[in-house]
Amino acid sequence: MSCARAALLQTRGPAPPQVTEMSGLKPRNRLVNFRLTEEEYTRLAAVCARKGSPSISDFARAAILRTIEAEAGREGPLDALLAALGDRLSDLERSFRILTEPAGDELRRNPER
């Protein structure tokens, strides 16, 4: 069944309870609903079909979850380390500029000034 046809057949009510079997999948019992223009829907259906997704719903869920995971990854300790490194590099750059300016030469020759 095509993505566009599958999207038209989806119901709007709450999802029926799903049985979690050995696959380890959690039941999907929450619904997110948003509106699209005809053009947006057509483009979404075309991308969905090109990517081989079984439905627009599956494609949209995967895209949204990828975005959430990418956001979560940006908030980790590595970001704090990179920010601190950036600050230190900025400080070094300022110090280097001061030392390479003509006034810096004078300060190096006469540090007591």
How many Cβ atoms are within 10 Å of 53's Cβ, its own excluded? 18
pLDDT tens-digit map of 15-38: 444 444 445 688 889 999 999 999
Instruction: Round to whole Å and give the CA distance between 51 and 47.
Output: 6
Residues 61 and 113 reside in one and the same domain: no
Residues 85 and 46 reside in one and the same domain: no
Residues 68 and 86 reside in one and the same domain: no
Residues 64 and 84 reside in one and the same domain: no
Residues 32 and 83 reside in one and the same domain: no
**Which residues form the domain of 59?**
1-9+26-75
- Reduced to 3 DSSP states, what percent helix, strand and coil does the chain have, rounded to the nearest 5? 65, 0, 35
Its pTM stands at 0.44
Residue 84 covered by a domain: yes
Residues 91 and 42 reside in one and the same domain: no
Q: What are phi and psi for residue 27, nearest 5 degrees? A: -65, 140
pLDDT tens-digit map of 45-83: 999 999 888 999 999 999 998 888 877 766 566 667 777
Residues 47 and 36 reside in one and the same domain: yes
How many Cα atoms occupy the beta-carbon half-sphere of 83 within 13 Å? 7
